[in-house]
Amino acid sequence: MLKIATGASEETDTVEAVEEALEIALEGMDGVKPKAGLAFVGIDVDVAALVKAFSEACRVLNWLAARPMVKLPAPRGSLKTAS
């Protein structure tokens, strides 16, 4: 059986964000133990804290590797923001 659940957080602290997102996702798993995990994070995330927080919160997952996203150069031209 394939069971998928998601969780999200707007916390700026990596550990707090992982804890919040995992709590939400695990509630959605209805007691099924996760066998894999995937995290989409911003470029300023503390990768070491991310892996440690995931590992401590969800010990059933095996982590193979983690690396930050590559920071993309700013787009050329002007960007308008909503105020």
Q: What is the pLDDT of residues 12-57, one digit of tens each?
A: 888 898 889 888 998 998 888 877 778 888 878 888 888 788 777 7
Q: Is 64 helix (H, G, I), strand (E, B) or coil?
A: coil
Position 72 pLDDT exceeds 80: no
- Per-residue confidence (pLDDT) for residue 24, from 0 to 100: 92
In a domain, 40, yes or no: yes
Structural domain range at position 11: 1-68
pTM tops 0.75: no
Nearest residue to 18 (alpha-carbon basis) of 50, 56, 46: 50
User: How many independent structural domains does the chain possess?
Assistant: 1
Report the sign of the C-alpha dihedral through residues 41, 43, 49, 55, in that order. Answer: positive
* Distance in angstroms (rounded) separating the CA atoms of residues 23 and 76: 39
In the prediction, which pLDDT does 18 show? 85
